[in-house]
Structure 1
Amino acid sequence: MGALLFILIVAAIVYYTKVYNSPNAKAVRAICKGKTPDQQKVIEYFCKEGCMTKTMDDDEYLSMVRAKRDSLNLRQKALNKIGLDEDEVSEISPATFEGFVYKNAYAKKRANGNWVSSSYQVAWLFFSSTQIYIYRYTFNMDEDKKTESTDEFFYKDVTSFSTSSESEQAHGLGDEKFEVESNKFKMVVPGDQIFVSMDGVADSENIIQAMKQKLREKKM
């Protein structure tokens, strides 16, 4: 009995010094102050280190991101922002692009080699007989932060649709920073280029080809 108690005491000391009281654990706890339980889980997923630590796995995190995305009802939110009924923007089927955004976000490489981050973007594009409307919404999983924007362009003013590989600077715990490459949908208009994350869309090339075809028709 005495030997077992001794082992338990030693294990508790090791856990406290190597895990709970480690520099990493203390830094993570400091960042988590004032956050919601879900936000704390996200921060721990990206930042917590050590063989004796436990965080959610990759699938759990992806499920959490999808659940938040779905709860936002972004297709309807986009239509509300544009101020049009869906039958007014049915020249072709609406297009949606989505994926993680790495700029100024926590990021990590999953077990399968793909990157994820604490920031996620969804974009909806709608097509009327004369204009293209694009709605972008970006939300953060580690804090109460979101950005949204709405733009509209006449077909004649759109130069091109394409894909582009862009490098963004993400960060880890503290001052750690690194570059992450991601695929973007690119829309070029006079004096500007609009980029939208698209790593989360399996048939993005088919969607873009349909958009290119409509743009060619409108410019004839």
Structure 2
Amino acid sequence: MGWLDTVASKGAQKLLIEDLKRGKTDEQKKVIDFFLLEQGCISGCVSGCLGRKQISLMEYNQMVANRLNGLNLRERAIEKIGLDESEIEEIPPIVMNGFCFLDDDAYIKIEDDTAVASRFAVSWIFFSATQIYTYTYKFDMTSDDVWETTRDFFYQDITSFTTEQKIVERIDKHLVGCIRKGIEAQKHNYRVDTIQIVVPNDSYRFAMRNSGNLEQSIQAAKSMLRERKFVK
């Protein structure tokens, strides 16, 4: 692809992005620009990248945090699963949160070896004497879309409770400057941690941010599962 072809391609990309932003809120438009426009990629060649300054990675993370504030997801989770809190006190619940890298239609961006996605989710796992209950709240930063999902599993039915760490390779290509004719490729690897509960004909899978406390909670859950799986 020649330089002019690349510029034309960028112009078509700009039109596509503008179309995606129709009917969106100001914040959603900023997020779409953040994920789809390349910083400084072609600023002097195609309308100054729409003439707007893109938000930073830090500002995007703050937008996500602001969205989470006030949701009271623990109370919402307990209400959705329809149990009294005293019924789910066998071990402390596991709470997980993370960007939804597993969603094929989510946008992903990597800066300074930090990966973020356009979708974010929080999940709670509660433990009763006989069952595991899960609640997940997922939202999209580029739209008003929200997903709420509840599941419950009997200990006897669970065939596996696993965690997985995966390194994902991503190669991004973009135009270098406006006069030099070239496309630069940059490799960024990012880590995806997941937890999965599998039962016959169903499964629960969630991408999460890993931490020491979370690992301790997961080990406690696995220990309880071993104890309860064969209790009649």
Shorter chain as normaliser: what TM range? 0.7 to 0.9
**2:127 equivalent in structure 1:** 127
Map of 1:41 onto structure 2 = 30
- Aligned runs of 1:47-196 on 2, under 5 Å? 47-51=36-40, 52=43, 54-102=53-101, 103=103, 104-111=105-112, 113-165=113-165, 182-196=192-206
- How far apart are 1:76 and its partner, in Å? 1.1
TM-score of the pair, normalised by structure 1: 0.78
Alignment deviations for residues 74-132 of structure 1 (CA, whole Å, 9 cap, x no partner): 11111111111212211111111111113211111122x12111011111111111111
Aligned partners of 2:83, 2:129: CA distance in 1, in Å?
Answer: 13
CA positional deviation for 1:29:
2.1
What displacement does 1:23 show? 4.3
Asked if 2 retains the 8 angstrom alpha-carbon contact of 1:100 and 1:200, the reply is: no
CA distance in 2, matches of 1:99, 1:201: 12
Give the match's secondary structure for 1:206: helix
Residues 215 and 150 of structure 1, relative CA distance in 2, 3 Å threshold: same
TM-score by length of 2: 0.74
- Distance in 2 (alpha carbons) for counterparts of 1:33 and 1:210: 48
| Per-residue Cα deviation, 1:157-198 (whole angstroms, up to 9, x for no partner) | 122221124699x9x9xxxxxx97622111111232210111
Does the aligned pair in 2 maintain the 1:186–1:194 contact within 8 Å? yes
Contact 1:162/1:208 (8 A) holds in 2: no
Moved more, 150-159 or 46-55: 46-55
| 1:39-83: CA deviation from partner (whole Å, max 9, x where unpaired) | 111111111224255211111111111221233221111111111
1:212 positional shift: 0.6
Match of 2:227 in 1: 217
The answer to whether the 8 A contact 2:193-2:210 is kept is: no
Alpha-carbon distance, 1:26 to partner: 3.3
Shift of residue 204, structure 1, vs aligned partner: 2.7
* Aligned equivalents of 1:159, 1:69: Cα separation in 2: 33
Q: Residue 147 of structure 1 aligns to a residue in which SS?
A: strand
Aligned length: 194
Equivalent residue, structure 1, for 2:178: none
- Structure 1 segments of 4+ aligned residues over 6 angstroms from their partners: none
Aligned residues of 1:24 and 1:49 also touching (Cα < 8 A): no
> How far off its partner does 1:137 sit?
1.6
What percentage of residue pairs aligned between the two structures are identical?
Answer: 39
Higher helix share: 1
- Residues 160, 212 of structure 1: 8 Å contact kept: no
SS, match of residue 88 in structure 1:
helix
* Contact 1:99–1:201 (Cα < 8 Å) also in 2: no
Uncovered stretches (5+) of structure 2, i.e. residues with no partner: 1-6, 44-48, 173-188
Q: Which runs of 5+ in 1 are unaligned?
A: 1-17, 173-178
Amino acid at match of 1:143: S
Amino acid at match of 2:146: K
Aligned residue type for 1:139: F
